């Protein structure tokens, strides 16, 4: 059952996945019928912020809390796969991952996209927002609102997205929480009572954030019975399976293995070989 997945990580079933889970976990995952997964139990959201405000660290904590990855001190920027991201310590390319979160006798599917904070990669942010219904706006308690904080918030507003404001790094001696709250209220018009104060580094209040994601953020709004429509927000060629893996947001209908899909842009037709959800050990 979905409830049994509380403490195990939920990978997609692609053959090239690194560190595959035990067979018992794989069998449990196979029992999940995503085409009948209730839409009200799905949340599609991204984390947006200025560079170095702690997006990837927060993603690590959420992955740990949902059991998507084992809790470990070695978990640093798990979703940053590129060498340049590891070397420079910044996110360059948006990365998506799925998590199962049990809450009040229901199990929710949380689809998270971690976005870059640097202005040079703002197109990655815009594309990620197009695949989501809501956003987590992260603000450094020591630095306060910065240029990309404003730019990314405006992008979210342009997409009519629900936004949860988070103040990160409250554990720092330099943290100026009250000043940052006042900035968020005056600049973005968000109420202080709804702002969550966290430390992504040590996990303070990250569990509370998960609860608010379920309580405050809306599920996707689409029809399962309509004509299939997909929005492609990323793709990568996998040499190990000699196929292209595309990351899509389903806006209408249901996609299954064996389906024929056509690109609206090129008109070309493709066969869906396999479907799955995002995992944390995805390798090309």
Residues 114 and 96: their CA atoms lie apart, in Å, by 6
* Cα separation values, 153 from 105, 138, 149, 190, 252, Å: 33, 10, 6, 11, 27
Sheet arrangement for strand 95-103: 95-103, 106-114, 42-49, 134-140, 162-168, 196-197
Q: Tell me the CA distances in angstroms from 233 to 74, 151, 250, one per residue in order.
A: 29, 20, 11
Look up the CATH architecture of domain 23-216: 3-Layer(aba) Sandwich (3.40)
Across the chain, which has 284 residues, the per-10-residue mean pLDDT values are: 34 35 46 67 90 84 82 56 43 67 89 66 69 91 92 88 94 95 95 94 93 94 85 81 83 89 90 80 38
pLDDT in tens, 186-213: 999 999 999 999 999 999 999 999 999 9
Q: Model-level pTM?
A: 0.78
H-helix or E-strand spanning residue 231: strand 229-238
Whole-angstrom distance, CA of residue 31 vs CA of residue 261:
25
Domain spans, the chain: 23-216, 229-272
> CA nearest 119: which of 188, 49, 46?
49
E strands, 141-218, in order? 162-168, 196-197
pLDDT 10s digits, 36-89: 567 889 999 988 888 878 888 898 888 888 887 777 555 555 554 534 344 444
Cβ contacts of 87 within 8 Å, gap of 6 or more: none
pLDDT of res. 79: 52
Q: What's the burial of 200, exposed, middle or buried (CB within 10 Å: 0-12/13-18/19+)?
A: buried
* Non-local CB neighbours of 30 within 8 Å, separated by 6+ positions: 13
Tokens in use for 124? Answer: 């990655």
């Amino acid at each position: 059952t979905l409830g049994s997945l509380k403490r195990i990580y939920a990978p997609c079933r692609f053959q090239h996945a690194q560190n595959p889970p035990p067979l018992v976990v794989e069998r449990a995952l196979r029992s999940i019928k995503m085409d009948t997964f209730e839409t009200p139990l799905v949340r599609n959201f991204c984390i947006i912020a200025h560079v170095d405000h702690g997006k990837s660290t927060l993603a690590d904590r959420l992955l740990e809390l949902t059991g998507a990855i084992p809790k470990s001190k070695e978990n640093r920027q798990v979703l940053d796969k590129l060498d340049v991201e590891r070397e420079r310590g910044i996110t360059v390319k948006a990365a998506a991952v799925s998590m199962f979160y049990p809450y009040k006798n229901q199990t929710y599917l949380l689809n998270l996209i971690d976005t870059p904070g640097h202005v040079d990669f703002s197109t990655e942010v815009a594309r990620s927002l197009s695949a989501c219904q809501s956003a987590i706006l992260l603000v450094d308690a020591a630095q306060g609102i910065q240029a990309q904080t404003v730019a990314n918030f405006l992008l979210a507003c342009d997409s009519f997205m629900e936004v949860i404001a988070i103040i990160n790094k409250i554990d720092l001696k330099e943290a100026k929480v009250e000043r940052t709250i006042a900035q968020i209220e005056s600049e973005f018009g968000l109420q202080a009572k709804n702002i969550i104060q966290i430390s992504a580094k040590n996990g303070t209040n990250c569990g509370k954030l998960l609860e608010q994601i379920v309580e405050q953020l809306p599920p996707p709004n689409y029809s399962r019975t309509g004509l299939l429509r997909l929005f492609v927000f990323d793709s990568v060629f996998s040499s190990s399976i000699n196929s292209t893996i595309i990351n899509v947001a389903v806006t209408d209908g249901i996609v299954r293995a064996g389906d024929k899909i056509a690109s609206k842009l090129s008109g070309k037709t493709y066969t869906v070989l396999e479907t799955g959800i995002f995992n944390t050990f995805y390798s090309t």
